[in-house]
Amino acid sequence: MRKFLIYLALMILSGSSLATELLIIHSNDFHGHISEADTYAGAARIAAYVRELRRNHPRVLFVDAGDAITGTPVSSLFEGEPIFHIMNAMGYDVGLLGNHEFDHGAAKIATFKDIAKFPLLGATALDADNQFISDKPFTIIEYDDLKIGIIGILTDSTPLLITPHGNQNLTFRAPADVLEELIPDLRARVDFLIVLSHTGFEEDIALAKQFQDIDLIIGGHSHTFNQHPVKSGRTWIVQADHYGQHLGFVKVNFTGTKGQYRLIGDLLAADELPQADLKVLALVESYEEKVRDKVDLPIWETDKDLSKEEIQPILERILAEHVNADLGFYNIGGIRDSIDAGVITIRKIWNIEPFSNTLVTITLSGADYLVLLAQEPKLHHSAADINPNKRYTIATSSFIAAHAKQAFGSAIKVQERDLLIRDVLIDYISKNGL
């Protein structure tokens, strides 16, 4: 809370400058972490911070850069809907479609838009009729005579990151192509131009170099901890970690000359935020109460901390043993949490595998399997032992199987097992440990 109190004191002392000042609070990759836990601030503490700023300042813009859902039992059990109800209570002004907003199929996004009392942007995602899946591609926020333009973009690699089921015939345009079309007209209509981006930090830097008419890129997707804004030419780039472990703060002071301003920014850790907003906390608790009896049950205890990379081969071994497959494969990007030494609860397994993927076996050649493994960000631990000329039966997820079927067609055999991977893990760990 230290930074928060220092800022309020400075703001009160410099009250005469508030008419030319804009505060921007930003989050990204919240992934359903609505409850305060460990290093996660939770929705209620974030809401309290925004409430106090708005009580003392006339221009506070609160935005999210996508992937608000998927990662906790509340989000997964209720297909993301509670998260948008809670974001309403938190006071968001603008949101963005990230790739995980497609986890329950593109049709579900219509429900998210109906719930959200703020626009969900997305200029790069189009449905089968070539219409925007989002509320709109951009929005303009006005504060008296100050106009803030905000364009929303998400990565054109989204088709590789989402399940094909329920997401057929969608188009994800290249962000650069869309920005090239939108920026000239919007730039002329606003005093400050923001791009809400779910493309990743390195991609944001590249876009900033290409489009110097952007004042600020507020990013997500790569879960980057970026303590202070980075500048590329005249464009600033920020990103605020993930899961609500940090909240982004940007202050813009306008000089009075069009296009001229001073910008500073910082990230606030969860323990630097005020105590919880009680109304938001009550809403969070009402949802958590619906899942607590299902997930807050101990199933094992371990004396080891396990990273996502260390969990991967354990998870794969469990899946392979369950169906007597040659090998198991679970993509590292699908493992969403680590394990700390101590009691392992069912909630922890939900957090590790929040997607409700089912267990599937695929049979394919070693050569094709190596192509599949090559999609991992790092060399997979089993790659060196794969014989390209041998056929393997691999225990994997329905997500991987669907993408493999698209890539290899009739060259692979897919067999559904009608078991949730999460349930297989819970059953095995409760009986055998890790």
Q: Is the pLDDT of residue 413 over 60?
A: yes
**Of 75, 72, 91, 71, residue with least CA distance to 83:** 75
Residue 2 has pLDDT above 90, yes or no: no
pLDDT for the residue 19: 64
Instruction: Tell me the average pLDDT across 396-418.
Output: 95
pLDDT digits (tens, 9 = 90+) for 14-71: 444 666 899 999 999 999 999 999 899 999 999 999 999 999 999 999 999 999 999 9
Contacts of 5 (CB under 8 A, 6+ apart): none
Q: Where is pLDDT greater, at 87 or 20?
A: 87
Spatial separation of the C-alpha atoms in residues 352 and 193, rounded to whole Å: 37
The Cα-based distances of 89 to 39, 48, 284 in angstroms read 22, 11, 10
What CATH number matches the domain at 296-432, 3.40.30.10, 3.90.1150.10, 3.90.780.10, 3.30.930.10? 3.90.780.10
Q: Is 341's pLDDT higher than 60?
A: yes
**Region 298-309 average pLDDT:** 97
* 2-288 topology per CATH: Purple Acid Phosphatase; chain A, domain 2 (3.60.21)
17-21, 123-127, 325-329, 415-419: which has the minimum mean pLDDT? 17-21
Instruction: Give the predicted TM-score (pTM) of the model.
Output: 0.93
DSSP H helical ranges for 78-121: 81-90, 108-115
Q: What's the rounded Cα separation, in Å, for the pair 240 and 244?
A: 8
The residues spanned by each domain of the chain are 2-288, 296-432
Q: pLDDT-based confidence at 8, cuts 50/70/90?
A: low
